[in-house]
Amino acid sequence: MSVNIDLTIAELISSRICHDLVSPVNSINMGLELLSETQDSFGTMPEVMYKSVRQAAAYLSMYRIALGLYGGGGGNVTFKEIQGFVANYYEDKNNITIQWQIGNLQTGGELEIPKDAAKMLLNIIMLASDCLPRGGVITIVLANINEGLGIAVAAEGDNVRINDDIALAIRPDVKLNDITARNVQAYFVYRLAEAMNTSIETKILEGQRLEVATCVAYNNV
């Protein structure tokens, strides 16, 4: 599978990644500066630096597979790895709770799914969390269906909504000039779905629940 992405889109994706990494990396830098000035007591600096390093590593791990070519592309990734990427990414986002339901997927041995499917899954999770301005619960449901792997992600919380800029980015007739660093990930996941010959459905239920669903065709796991 290949996704044709305009250079501007690649630049905006890079901007999104850099935006998320700036804060933890700056915290590390500030901590190092304070340590160099404080010889008698470290105080809470080591703890702050450790948290920032962990956060930066979690973001990079998540973006590597969700937006890049994890391990060179192709092949499989274990379900345990996927859960780890998600858990670490949202660890410091105290207002987001993650729940998993794996339905009728195999339970014996170590479950693996293709990297393309994992990429789609992680992008949908990120899209759903962007629609929870006040936090909430994200429930991820995976199941084997006739067409392949069924993915459904529900985001529940106060004032859950699809922001106007995200709604614009997922329109089939969206113009490149309408894409920004804020909504480029939403644009990317919908173009990813097109490249995988599938589609993504979204709906808001009673202003408290957002549902995002898709199907990725491949051999059942």
Structural domains present in the chain: 7-216 (3.30.565.10)
Q: Say what the pLDDT of residue 168 is.
A: 92
Average pLDDT of 134-160?
90
Bridge-based pairing state of the strands 96-101 and 136-145: parallel
Bridge-based pairing state of the strands 76-78 and 96-101: unpaired
H helical segments located in the chain: 7-37, 45-66, 79-89, 115-129, 164-169, 184-195
C-alpha to C-alpha distance for 174 and 205, rounded to whole angstroms: 25
Given pLDDT bands bounded at 50, 70 and 90, which one contains residue 97? very high
Looking at the predicted structure, is the pLDDT value of residue 86 above 90?
yes
pLDDT in tens, 32-85: 667 666 654 556 666 777 777 788 888 888 888 888 877 666 788 899 999 999
Retrieve residue 69's tokens.
Answer: 């070519």
pLDDT in tens, 175-209: 888 999 889 999 989 888 888 888 899 988 877 88
Instruction: Give the least confident one: 21-25, 59-63, 64-68, 113-117.
Output: 21-25
| Mean of pLDDT over the chain | 82
Neighbours of 56 (CB within 10 A): 18
Retrieve residue 82's tokens.
Answer: 């996927």
DSSP letter, residue 76: E
Q: Say what the pLDDT of residue 57 is.
A: 82
Per the listing, tokens 């729940």 go with 99
Comparing 126 with 103, the larger pLDDT belongs to: 126
Average pLDDT of 101-123?
81
